[in-house]
Amino acid sequence: MDRILTKESIRGITPYPLGIAAEELKEKYKLSRIRSLADNENAYGCSKLVSLAMSKQPGNLSRYPDGACSALKRTLGNFLNLPSAYISIGNGSEELIRLLARAYISEGDEAIMADLTFPRYKANVVIEGGKAVEVPLKDGLHDLVEMGSRMSSRTKMIFICNPNNPTGTALCKEAIQQFIAAVPAHILIVLDEAYYEYMNHEKRTEAEKLLTFHDNVAVLRTFSKAYGLAGLRAGYGMMHPSIIAELDKVREVFNVNALSQAAAIAALEDQYFVRMSGEKNRTERERMRGRIQELGFMCYASEANFLFIQGALAEKLMESGIIVRKFTHASFQGEAVRLTIGTEEDNDAVLEAIGQAVRGRRV
Ligand SMILES: *Cc1c(COP(=O)(O)O)cnc(C)c1O
C-alpha cells in the first residue's frame, strides 16, 4: 500500500515502542510469573475509594460525560489552591502535550527539549510540522543554560520534564523559576511533572505561584503514576485560561470519560494513599539504587518511581520474567534500562536477576 501518501511530517516517526507482551514473554522463556516494571505504574495499585466511586456512577452509560469536567476541576482547584479556570483535563497528560502542540506549533516552529526525555514531546511537535531542538542532558539533568541559549526567533515552546523520564533526575524549583523568568513571554514553557508526587518536598515547584507571575507556563501532572490510575487515562494541566481556551478549540469535546472523571475525584480525596505510595517508593528506590551500584552499575539519583541503570541488563531481566524498558542513546555508551520500582518482593526478584547476571559475567 504505497499509493496513498501520508502527510510529510509523520513519515519519519516511529510508533511508541510498546514492548513485549507479558503472555509472549511467559511463553518464550517458560515462565510462571511476569513482573511488568517497564511503564512506571504504581506498584501499590490505587486508592480503594476509586472502585467505590466508579461503582456508584449512574448506570447511565448512554449519556455523554461532562465535557467540561466541572466537578473534577472544582475538586482539583480546591486541592491545588487554584481557580478552576486555570485547569484543563486531558485523557492522560499525554493528550495535553498533543493539544499544546496542536494549538501552538506551526510549520517551521521550534521546540527546545532535552535529548533524552519523554518521546511524546518530539513526536507531537514533528507531527505539526515543527522541529525539535534537542539539548544534551548534563549529568542526567536538563541543561537549562544551554537550553536558554538555543532560543531563536523560531522558538515557540520549551519542554522541561521534571523529574526527567527516563533518567529520574530532578532540578530544584529555584533553577526552574529562574529559567522561566528569563524566557520571553511569547514562548510557552511546558513543565511536565508526571512524577511530582514522588519528588522531595523541597524541590517541588509551586505551580500556583508560577502561574501568578507567568502566563506562558503550562504545568502538567497526571493521575497515572502516584495516583495509580494509568488504565483510566486522566491527567491535568495548570495554565492561564487563555491557553486553555485554545486547547478547548482543538480537543475532542468529550475527551475524558465519565468513569475516569469519577475515579480521579475519588483518587484525589485519598491523599493518604498517595503519601503511602511515595514513602514506600522512596524506601525501596534508595535500597535498590544502593544495591545496584554495589553490583557495579551506574544509576542516577532518582526522584521518581523508577531508576535509570546503565548496563546491558534488559535481556537478563526479561529471561527472569521482569519486563523493563531498554535504551540506547548517543549520550551514554552501550545500553541502559529504565526500571520501575515495584513492591519489595518485585525488587528482590530484580536484585536476584541482576546478581545472577553479574556472577554469569565473571565466570
Ligand atoms: C507517564 C508520563 C506521562 C503521561 O502520562 P498519562 O498517562 O498520559 O497521564 C507524561 N509525561 C511523562 C514524563 C510521563 O512519564
What domains lie within the chain, and their CATH numbers?
A: 8-45+272-361 (3.90.1150.10), 48-270 (3.40.640.10)
Please name the residue whose Cα sits nearest to atom 6 of ligand 1: 92
- Residue 327 CA to ligand 1 center (angstroms) comes to 18
pLDDT tier at 1 (50, 70, 90 boundaries)? Answer: low
Q: Which residues line ligand 1 (CB under 6 A)?
A: 40, 92-94, 118, 161, 165, 192, 194, 222, 224, 230, 235
Query: Residue 225 Cα, ligand 1 centroid: separation in angstroms?
Result: 8
pTM for the structure as a whole = 0.96
Q: Is 29 helix (H, G, I), strand (E, B) or coil?
A: helix
Q: Give the pLDDT of residue 186.
A: 98
pLDDT on residue 155: 98
Q: How sure is the predictor about 176, in pLDDT bands with cuts at 50, 70 and 90?
A: very high
Instruction: Look at residue 130 in the predicted model and tell me its pLDDT.
Output: 97
Cα–Cα dist 67/84, whole Å: 14
Q: Show the cell assigned to 173.
A: 524549583
Q: How many residues does the chain have?
A: 363
Q: Which residues pair with 325 in a beta bridge?
A: 338
Helices vs. strands in the chain: H and E counts, helices first: 13, 13
Least confident of 36-50, 52-66, 140-154, 297-311: 52-66
Ligand 1 site-directed mutation target among 113, 167, 220, 224, most atoms within 8 Å of CB:
224
